[in-house]
Amino acid sequence: MRLRYFTKRFEAPGLVAAAARHHAWLAEHARPLRLPALTVVGPTSLTYEWIDGRPARPEDLLALAALLGDAHGAAWTTDLRPASLNTPHRFRDGIAFGDYTGPRQAALRRRLEQGYLADRDALHAMLTLLEKTAEGPTAFYKDSNPRNFLITEAGDVYTVDADDLTLAPMGYDLAKLIATLILMYGPLPTPAIDSALRTYNEAAERHDPRLATTDRRRLNDFLTLHAVLTAPYAGRNGYLHSWPSRHRPQGSP
C-alpha cells in the first residue's frame, strides 16, 4: 500500500519550529493523544502521515471528553504541575509557549475593535471574567474544535493541527470542543454536556484528585469567553449556528 502524507505550509521558519516543538511536547507529555507522525521538517513546511478519518460529531463528545481529561491529567502530572497560568511555559531550550491570560486579553481587545463587543464596559466584563477563570491546576489548550480530531473507520482518534499551544485552566479546551460543536451542529442537550463534563473530570482525577476542578458554572464561564473569541468565525468555516442566549455575553451585538 502506498503511504500518503500531508504537507502544511507556514509563513515563517519560526512558526515551523514552534509547531514541530509543540508536536514533540504533546507526544511526550500528553500521550493519551494519538498524533500523526511528523515525517519531514522543512524550512517553511511540516509533513505528516496522512490520516483517513472524519471530523468529530456531537455523538463523539463523551469519548473526546474522556480523551481530553486523560491528556490534560497526563500533561499536568509530567510537566505542568508547577506551571502558572499567567506565565508563558518554557521548554528545556528556553523557548516558551503562551500563557493563558495574555493572548486572550489581546484577543478580547481586538473583538472590541472589530465590533463584537458593544463598548468598553462589555470589554471590562469579559476581561474580568477571564481573570476570574485564571486559577486552579494548569492544562494546555490546543483548539479542540471538531475538525482537529480525525476518527478512523476503526474508531481510532487522531489529534491534528496542534501547532499553537497555550496554557489554559482545566476544562477550558473541553469548553472549546462543546462551543464549536454547538456552532457547527446546533444546541447540544443539557444532559450531554453534563455527562461530558463528568467524564472529563473523572478522566483527569485518575491522574490526581486535585484535577477535578471544573464544575458547570465554571464551564459556562469558559463558554461565555469562547462566544466572544469565536465571534469572527460565525457563518464561516462550517460555523453555521448561533450561540444559545445563556452563553451570549452581555454587551455583544
CATH number at residue 143: 3.90.1200.10
Mean pLDDT within 196-204: 98
Neighbours of 218 (CB within 10 A): 20
pLDDT at 135 over 80: yes
User: Domain limits at 66?
Assistant: 53-247
pLDDT in tens, 212-226: 999 999 999 999 999
Determine, yes or no, domain membership for 24: no
Question: How does residue 250 score in pLDDT terms, banded at 50, 70 and 90?
Answer: low
Strand partners, 48: 6, 38
Question: How does residue 44 score in pLDDT terms, banded at 50, 70 and 90?
Answer: very high
pLDDT in tens, 202-211: 999 999 999 9
More confident residue, 197 or 12: 197
Determine, yes or no, domain membership for 39: no
Mean pLDDT within 157-175: 94
Determine, yes or no, domain membership for 237: yes
pLDDT at 1 over 70: no
Strand partners, 90: 96
Mean pLDDT within 74-84: 95
State which H helix or E strand residue 166 sits in: strand 166-169
CB within 8 Å of 2: residues ≥ 6 apart: none
Q: Dihedral through CA 27, CA 199, CA 107, CA 237, nearest 10?
A: 80
Domain count, the chain: 1
Determine, yes or no, domain membership for 16: no
State which H helix or E strand residue 243 sits in: none
CA 130 to CA 75: how far, in whole Å?
Answer: 22
Question: How does residue 91 score in pLDDT terms, banded at 50, 70 and 90?
Answer: confident
Q: What DSSP string describes 65-110?
A: HHHHHHHHHHHIIIIITT--TTSPEE-TTS-EEB-SHHHHHHHHHH
Determine, yes or no, domain membership for 162: yes
Determine, yes or no, domain membership for 44: no
Determine, yes or no, domain membership for 22: no
AA identity, residue 82:
P
pLDDT in tens, 136-155: 999 999 999 999 999 999 99
pLDDT at 181 over 70: yes
Q: Which of 87-96, 190-199, 201-210 comes out lowest in average pLDDT?
A: 87-96
Determine, yes or no, domain membership for 8: no
Helical ranges in 76-215 per DSSP H: 101-114, 120-133, 172-185, 190-205
Phi (first) and psi of residue 159, to 5 degrees: -100, 125
Q: What percent of the chain has pLDDT over 90?
A: 81
Q: Based on C-alpha coordinates, what's the Rg of the chain?
A: 18
